[in-house]
A and B are shown apart, each in its own frame.
Chain A
Amino acid sequence: MSDTILFLLVDGLTNGLVYALLALSLVLVFTVTRVVNIAQGEYVMLGALTLADLLQGRMPGTLYLLIGGLALCAILDVGRWRRDWRQASLYTGGLIVAGIVALALTRGALALHLPVIGMMVVALILVAPLGALIYRFTVHPIPNATTIVFVIISVGVSMSVQGLGLLIWGANPYPVDPIAAGGLMMGPVFIPYQSFAILVTALLAMGGLYVFSEFTLVGKALQASAMNRLGAQFCGIPVNATGALAFLLAAAFSAVSGMLLAPLITANYEMGFMVGLKGFVGGAMGGLIDYPLSLVGVMIVGGLESTSAYVASAYRDVLVFSLLIPILLWRNTRSRVEAR
């Protein structure tokens, strides 16, 4: 009996850690930009499928998405040419260079047949900037829109990206290699190496975000623009850039979680939604503003998920989502007290 419990714990922990990265992304985006990003799960899908392509020796469709996005960015900024052509040409030049670098990097990686970790880095470089681009197209133009408009817009983004995923990769599942095959026995439980990879990556990501936020000035600037946008402006902090940075980091975390998860489940164009939703529930337990609580939340979700052998899956969902309501009520009262 204790063997099963141990197994469930390990399984739940692994699941939870993957969703943790997603919850982290959601909280990061919300605290810095006040956007509830329904589309966050799609970066999970993009990360996984890009990696799948690279590992199979194909040019990933994501590259074309990236180049298309950079081109659109340049087009949108056409107005700046009249005002300040020097700055505008620098900007467009930068975008072109970025596109070329991405292309070269991908070609190089494929030619060199990099190992899984190397390909993961390349995939990350292709997917993360998409987050900043989405920010540029959807949030930057209307920074003062209401929450609901952002919610609907992120639904639109989610639909488009999922549709693009279907277009590029089709409906079939794709195999993705784990970082290292096999695993080891810890006592009675078999733990795949991938789970260790997930643990290490999750800890590095959380640790990295923590170090970045607490020990670098740019990280503090990000925190500052989340706490008081006007105050940040008065320090000379470019608040639009911090928004784009938040979106980029969030996309990176989500993409990594997708790449780590893919060997354990099927990787296909639909995977983003479910993973996104679970991370969302965890994040919501922290009210989308509290990192530690959202980690607890995803652990609960992950743990409940691994009990699927014992509890019918649908009732498990009922339980998880019903649990959310009293937690939200509690958080709501707390934030009102703090505000006073």
Chain B
Amino acid sequence: MTKLLEVANLTVGYGEAIAIDDISFSVARGEFITFIGPNGAGKTTLLNSLMGVLQQTFGTVTFAGEDLKALKPEARVARGIVIVPERRELFPGLSVEDHLRLGAFLRRHEGRAKMAAALERIYTLLPKLKERRKQLAGTLSGGEQQMVAVGRALMAEPQLLMLDEPSTGLAPRITEEIFEAIDRLKAAGMTGILVEQNANLALSVAERGFVLEVGNVVASGEAEQLRKDPRVLAAYLGAGDRYREAMTDT
């Protein structure tokens, strides 16, 4: 399998702090990998830096052989890197269908028939969106907004789909629907990076995973293995030993 995305020595600063500390990984075409870890681990920062949104980014990111270096987010979308952001970043005054059409903004010259076909595909994948196609995004529920964000990203026909904590704030049933959609995308050959706080959910979809803790990868491997790895639990709930030792000195 060819490597679609190669990340080498990625370090991202955030003001004075270091949010991502020298991470390297790659994603092959057709693969779905995941980054899990507790809040504040740097997962969202990772995806935002891959989208070109952040300033203090160091290291090399190569996509389909091209160094992404200083490319603006719009240019990355044009190359097929698309994100479903953590906060969804929707347009409250525009309708569901508007969002989907705008997702295909860069493909608007391909003609009406192609646009209609693309819309149909999304509506088949996420039927709830078809029911609410004319509804304004600002009036949708959290789960529906998440679906709009996913649908909008898919309309760009991405080569690499990045999902930032898709299950946040959603009821279990809606989360189920969204992850079923992700399953179907995977089956169709989509390459993806999934960032999630819900470790079990993430590891049920991805093939490979990385555990992030305050900007560092503390464990990685095949999804099956990671599920049973005690380091995952430790990353989330901590053991407290490092600090306890330090404090007995005082």
Q: Tell whether any CB of A sits under 8 Å from a CB of B in the complex.
A: yes
Binding site for B on A (CB under 8 A): 217, 220-221, 223-224, 227-228, 230-239
Q: Please tell me if the beta carbons of B78 and A227 are within 8 angstroms of each other in the complex.
A: no
A224 to chain B: closest residue by CB? B91
Interface residues of B in 84-107 (CB under 8 A from A): 85, 88-94, 98, 101-103, 105-106
- Once bound together, how far apart are the Cα atoms of A224 and B95, in whole Å? 11
A9 to B102 CA separation, bound complex (whole angstroms): 43
Cβ of A224: which chain B residues have Cβ within 8 Å of it? 91, 94, 98, 102
Task: Given the known inter-chain contacts A223-B94, A227-B92, please indicate yes or no for A233 contacting B105, CB distance below 8 A.
Answer: no
Q: Which B positions have Cβ atoms within 8 angstroms of A?
A: 51, 53, 72-74, 77-78, 82-83, 85, 88-94, 98, 101-103, 105-106, 108, 152-153, 156
Q: Give Cα distance in the complex from A227 to B98, angstroms.
A: 13
Do most interface residues of chain A lie in helix, strand or loop, or is the interface mixed?
A: helix
What residues of chain A lie closer than 8 Å to B94, measured between beta carbons?
Answer: 220, 223-224, 227
Q: List 12 A-B contacts (CB under 8 A).
A: A220-B101, A223-B94, A224-B94, A227-B94, A228-B91, A231-B89, A232-B102, A233-B74, A234-B73, A236-B74, A237-B102, A239-B74
State how many angstroms separate the Cβ of A141 from the closest Cβ of chain B: 16
CA distance A221 to B98 in the complex (A): 9
What residues of chain A lie closer than 8 Å to B93, measured between beta carbons?
223, 227
Question: Which residues in A have their C-beta under 8 angstroms from that of B88?
Answer: 231
**A185 to B121 alpha-carbon distance, docked (Å):** 60
A217 partner residues in chain B, CB cutoff 8 A? 101-102, 105, 108
Given contacts A220-B98, A227-B92, A234-B85, 16 further A-B contacts (CB under 8 A): A217-B102, A217-B108, A221-B102, A227-B91, A227-B94, A228-B89, A230-B53, A231-B88, A231-B89, A233-B73, A234-B77, A234-B89, A235-B103, A235-B152, A235-B156, A237-B74
Contact residues in A for B106 (Cβ distance below 8 Å): 235-236
How far does the Cβ of A132 sit from chain B's closest Cβ, in whole Å?
18
- Contact across chains for A231 and B82 when beta carbons are under 8 A apart: no
> Of B82, B98, B101, B108, which is within 8 A of A234 by CB?
B82
Kindly name the residue among B74, B83, B90, B101 whose own CB sees the greatest number of chain A CB atoms within 10 A. B74
Q: A221 to chain B: which residues have CB within 8 Å?
A: 102, 105
Report yes or no: A236 in contact with B83, Cβ–Cβ below 8 A: no
Contacts of A223 in B (CB 8 A): 91, 93-94
> Is A235 a contact of B105 with CB atoms below 8 Å?
yes
A239–B53 Cα distance when bound, in Å, is 13
B74 touches A238 (CB 8 A): yes
Tell whether A233 pairs with B72 under 8 Å between CB atoms, given A217-B105, A228-B89: yes
Tell which of A224, A231, A238 has the most Cβ of chain B within 10 Å. A231
Residues of A near B156 (CB, < 8 A) are 235-236
Instruction: Determine the distance from Cα of A227 to Cα of B85 in the docked complex, in whole angstroms.
Output: 16
A245 and B61 alpha carbons, distance in the complex (Å): 32
- B176 to chain A minimum Cβ distance, whole angstroms, is 25
| Chain A: minimal CB distance from B77 (Å) | 4
Residues of chain B lying within 8 A (CB to CB) of residue A239: 74
CA distance A237 to B77 in the complex (A): 9
> Complex: how many Å from CA A217 to CA B155?
14
Closest to A238 in B: B74
In whole angstroms, how far apart are the Cα atoms of A237 and B104 in the complex?
10
Question: 6 tightest A-B contacts by CB?
Answer: A231-B89, A236-B77, A233-B73, A236-B106, A227-B91, A224-B91
Task: Chain A residues near B103: list those with CB within 8 A.
Answer: 235
- CB proximity of A334 to chain B, nearest CB, Å: 15
**Alpha-carbon distance between A23 and B83 when the two chains are bound, in angstroms:** 37
| Minimal beta-carbon separation of B123 from chain A (angstroms) | 18
CA separation between A230 and B101, bound complex, in Å?
A: 17
**Complex Cα–Cα for A236 and B78 (A):** 6
Residue of A nearest to B51 (CB): A234
Residue of B nearest to A239 (CB): B74
Closest beta carbon of chain B to A202's beta carbon, Å: 24
Q: Which B residues touch A231, using CB under 8 A?
A: 85, 88-91
In the bound complex, how far is the Cα of B77 from the Cα of A236, in angstroms? 5
User: Would B83 and A234 count as touching, CB distance under 8 A?
Assistant: yes
Whole-angstrom CA separation of A223 from B53 in the bound complex? 21
Chain B residue numbers with a CB within 8 Å of A234 are: 51, 73, 77, 82-83, 85, 89, 153
Closest approach, in angstroms, between the C-beta of A52 and any C-beta of chain B?
40
- Tell me which residues across on chain A come within 8 A of B74, comparing CB atoms: 233, 236-239
Question: Once the chains are docked, how many angstroms separate the CA of A238 from the CA of B73?
Answer: 9
Q: Cα distance A106–B72 when bound, in Å?
A: 38
Q: In whole angstroms, how far apart are the Cα atoms of A112 and B102 in the complex? A: 43
Chain A nearest CB from B230 CB (Å) reads 37
The distance in angstroms between the C-alpha atoms of A190 and B64, with both chains bound, is 71
**Is the Cβ of B89 less than 8 Å from the Cβ of A230?**
yes
**How many Å lie between the Cα of A234 and that of B88 in the bound state?**
10
CB-based nearest A residue for B82: A234
With A220-B94, A220-B98, A230-B53: A237-B105 Cβ-Cβ less than 8 Å: yes
A251 and B88 CA atoms in complex are apart in Å by: 34
What residues of B have a CB within 8 angstroms of the CB of A238 in the complex? Answer: 74
Query: What is the minimal beta-carbon distance from A262 to any residue of chain B, in angstroms?
Result: 36
Q: A217-B108, A227-B93, A228-B89 are contacts. A235–B102 as well, Cβ < 8 Å?
A: yes
Q: Is the CB of B85 within 8 A of A228?
A: no
- Which residue in chain B gives the minimum CB-CB distance to A217? B108
Q: What CA separation (Å) do A236 and B105 show in the bound complex?
A: 7
